[in-house]
Amino acid sequence: MIYMYKVAVVGDKDSILGFKALGVDVFPVVEKDEARRVVDTLARHKYGIIFITEQTASLIPETIERYNNQMLPAVILIPSNQGTLNIGMDMINKNVEKAVGTNIL
């Protein structure tokens, strides 16, 4: 199954504007409901990868969680311009704990 997927970036406007110059579709969001709606819509519309800033992701943890055990889309957290909240790292550590039982890293 080969299909061309698009790449999206979701987050606050100032953080993600730079991605636009690279030809990635950007979707600035501010509110929680808006963020959830945007992510869900993107997932339905052939976006294979959705980068979302940690600040925005922290508003909608359930939505992010929901896409974690599906093959597509890949929802990947990136830091925003206010720095990182370490959610991305935490998720890696949580995965290790889930798989191995203890954190071995």
* Spatial contact of 89 and 62, defined as CB atoms under 8 Å apart: no
Is there binding between residue 28 and another protein (CB under 8 A)?
no
Q: Which stretch binds another protein (CB under 8 A): 35-43, 55-63, 90-98?
A: 90-98
Q: Using the minimum distance from each CB to another protein, give the nearer residue, 33 or 70.
A: 70
What SS3 class is residue 49?
strand
User: How is residue 77 written in tokens?
Assistant: 């957290």
User: How is residue 85 written in tokens?
Assistant: 């909240």
* Spatial contact of 11 and 58, defined as CB atoms under 8 Å apart: no
Q: Which stretch binds another protein (CB under 8 A): 9-17, 37-45, 55-63?
A: 9-17
- DSSP lists the bridge partners of residue 105 as none
Is there binding between residue 21 and another protein (CB under 8 A)?
yes
* Spatial contact of 9 and 35, defined as CB atoms under 8 Å apart: no
The count of chain residues that interact with another protein, using the rule CB under 8 A, is 43
Q: Which residues bind another protein (CB under 8 A)?
A: 1-7, 14-15, 17-24, 48-49, 51, 68-69, 71-72, 74, 76, 78-81, 83-84, 88-89, 91-92, 95-96, 98-100, 104-105
